[in-house]
Amino acid sequence: MRSSGRPAPAAGVEIGVADPSGPAARHCLEQYFAELAVRFPAGFDLSRDGGDGALSELAPPGGCLLVARLAGEPVGCAGLRLLEPDLGEIKRMWVAPGARGCGIGRRFLRELEQRARDRGLRALRLDTHSSLGEALRLYRSCGYAEIARFNDNPYAHHWFEKIL
């Protein structure tokens, strides 16, 4: 954070692929799940949302997990997994509260979209909860269009797709 209270520009943030079971990814995912437990009116139970076993879908070769670091410290994560041979899904996107507002979420989306294109995917999908207003605004502003429900995520209220 800058002394003005505004986040520093994302230029100082490094984004790279991480092992979903590694320490940086685990740190981000634990923070993400803890935040969901507070922000969702009925709380959050990981076992209802695929559990830790779902993390294997974010590992290569089928998926990838990106971690953002600021001054070497992990401040965010975002994953990509395959739904079908030509269709991917963005999962577990989170940015630490102190790092929000400096473009990390947009950088995650651009990077995942490029990786999806490189794999020959035709589209990306994602879902989110209605209490995550900043996520809803981000997805819409980045060209994701609301679509019909495509999964059984018990915490999702909105489903999006972007044709690549």
Please measure the distance between the N-terminal and C-terminal CA atoms of the chain and give it in whole angstroms.
33
Domains of the chain in start order, with CATH, are 13-125 (3.40.630.30)
pLDDT higher than 90, residue 55: no
pLDDT digits (tens, 9 = 90+) for 121-148: 999 999 999 999 999 999 999 999 999 9
Q: What is the pTM of this model?
A: 0.90
* pLDDT computed for residue 159 by the predictor: 98
The whole-angstrom separation of Cα 126 and Cα 147 is 10
According to DSSP, residue 16 is labeled E
Higher per-residue confidence, 116 vs 52? 116
SS3 category, 73: strand
